[in-house]
Amino acid sequence: MSLPPTTAPAQTNVGSQITLPKKTLFLGDCNTSGTPDIEGHAYPELFAHLTKSSCLNCGHTMTTTREGSQYYAEFYSEDIDAICIQYGLVDSWRTFKYAPYVLYYPDSKSRKLGRKLTKKFKKLCKKFGLNRLFGTENVVPLDEYRQRLHAIITNAPSKAIVLIETIPNKDTTRNLDIERYNALLADLAGHYRHCFLLPIYDDFAGVMQEHYSDPTHLSKTGHRFVAEKLHLLFKDNILGVTPDA
């Protein structure tokens, strides 16, 4: 798969010794790729415009850190200055405990068929009460979520890595799990000098109507908000932080 980067000249604020990234890799789900009407103008592209830099947006609908591991392996390169990661919306989703998971990337005809069959299987399980009988679990268990993020963080110790919180859902029954996954992001960011948290959950909890296009997805205003907050984080000169040994 080939993803054309959004490009523009790099920017360095020499006067105040603030260095902004020349190229940023974005890994995430539908709120990184943007809904179809926003795609190509989501917060990664807006951030690239604000910083006069380039971005590689590997956001994809319905994806988790499992796909994120695949995207990272394929698209990471040494000329990337920063990596921004926003997974958790699908990872934290609760579903039938014994439902299979079929990757969305890399994709194939057999995987597309597998996802259709899995979706029907989950509906039948819910209809016949198997969720209540056998239980549910998160699509990506919290321990696996940590391991996959940890692998990326430790594999790129000289790059600035930003973990972006998942926004609250208007289906509030989902938010307790989202908060658990966000808390893990904060914990990871606290363990590595080159890793930073972008806290946006509380921001969106306070202005949900204006920043959402539906119960789950960011609106154009929401994407602009994330891009601007991310820009402010980089203006704290996080690229100049001494990497972990």
Q: What is the pLDDT of residues 97-119, one digit of tens each?
A: 999 999 999 999 999 999 999 99
User: What digits encode the pLDDT tens for the residues 187-202?
Assistant: 999 999 999 999 999 9
pTM of the model: 0.91
Torsion, Cα 213 103 90 61, to 10 degrees, reads -10
In a domain, 99, yes or no: no
User: pLDDT-based confidence at 164, cuts 50/70/90?
Assistant: very high
In a domain, 193, yes or no: yes
Domain that holds residue 191: 12-93+139-240
In a domain, 146, yes or no: yes
In a domain, 124, yes or no: no
Task: Report how far residue 49's alpha carbon sits from residue 160's, in angstroms, rounded to the nearest whole number.
Answer: 19
The pair of structure tokens assigned to 57 is: 């947006």
User: pLDDT-based confidence at 207, cuts 50/70/90?
Assistant: confident
Across 8-17, 85-94, 97-106, 153-162, least confident range:
8-17
What is residue 244's predicted lDDT score, i.e. its pLDDT?
Answer: 65
Query: Is the predicted pLDDT of residue 93 greater than 80, yes or no?
Result: yes
In a domain, 226, yes or no: yes
What is residue 12's predicted lDDT score, i.e. its pLDDT?
Answer: 40
In a domain, 112, yes or no: no
What is residue 41's predicted lDDT score, i.e. its pLDDT?
Answer: 96
In a domain, 103, yes or no: no
31 burial class (0-12, 13-18, 19+ CB within 10 angstroms)? buried
CATH at residue 176: 3.40.50.1110
Give the chain's domain count.
1
What is residue 18's predicted lDDT score, i.e. its pLDDT?
Answer: 73
In a domain, 209, yes or no: yes
Query: Is the predicted pLDDT of residue 16 greater than 80, yes or no?
Result: no
* Of residues 24 and 5, more confidently modeled: 24
